[in-house]
Amino acid sequence: MAPAPSSKRQALDALMGRAVAGDEKAYRAFLTEAAIIVRRFAAGRMPHHSAGFDLEDLVQEVLLAVHTKRHTWRVGEPVTPWLLAIARYKAIDAYRRRGKRVEIDIDAMGDVFEDPSAMPTATGHDVGRAVASLGGRQQAVVSALSVEGKSISQTARDLDMSEGAVRVAFHRGLSTIARKFGRT
């Protein structure tokens, strides 16, 4: 079979002809081909990069319409114009529906909203500097509890201290940092 567009269209006509006669395989092949045609048709005409419009949703809507209205195609008629007329009707429908409600894709709002996790509260460098400004036991305790996230009992065991002593050292260490870095 030559790859000329007209013969391809005729092949599609034949496929649909067999499909309406009850050939499931032919119908599947027709729908697969139809999906490609509709996708290409819609991609060129619809504002597919705009928010609230999903190209694949439209393709599926067209395929469903093709299915429920397939009795309106008659053997002997070219199937491609029929398919594209349905695609056009559904595309206009989708476009109108989209216009009635404002949908904004959150991805498109990156300029407006900043990701809170990306906003620095205290940088690793600042924390390191604060902890390093402490001495001896206080540094070890603050580092273990605040930076490494260990529990008090774990820290007490690691440093061979009582839990009460860990709490006191931790409190004093934080007070020292607060004094040095301006907040009490």
Partner 1 sequence: MQTDDLIAQLAERNARDGESFVLPLWLAALFAPVIGFAGFMALLGPRPDFLASLSTLRFDMKFVEAGLLAIAALGLLAALARPARPWRSRARMLLVPAAVLSAAVMVELVVVPADLWGAQAFTANAWTCLVAIPAIGAPVLALFVVALSQQAPTRPGLAGGVAGLAAAGVSAVFYAAHCPSDSPLFVALWYPLATLILVAGGAVAGRMFLRW
Q: Write out the residues near partner 1 by the rule CB under 8 A.
A: 19-20, 22, 24-25, 27-28, 31-32, 35, 56, 59-60, 63-65, 67-73, 81-82, 84-86, 88-89, 93
- Token pair for 183: 């907040």
Residues in CB range of 120: below 8 A, 6 or more apart: none
Supply the minimum distance, in Å, between the C-beta of residue 41 and partner 1.
Answer: 13
Nearest distance, CB of residue 38 and partner 1, angstroms: 10
Output 60 or 146, the one with its CB closest to partner 1: 60
Tell me the C-alpha to C-alpha distance, in Å, between residue 177 and each of 75, 136, 138, 146: 85, 14, 10, 12
User: Shortest gap between Cβ of 20 and partner 1 (angstroms)?
Assistant: 8
Query: For residue 45, how many C-alpha atoms fall within 13 Å in the half-sphere facing its CB?
Result: 17
The CB-of-35 to partner 1 minimum distance in angstroms stands at: 6
Q: Which CB atom, from 38 or from 145, has the smaller least distance to partner 1? A: 38
Cα–Cα dist 181/128, whole Å: 13
Considering the complex, state which of residue 59 and residue 134 has its C-beta at the smaller distance from partner 1: 59
Closest to partner 1 by CB, 95 or 131: 95
CB 57 within 8 A of CB 95: no
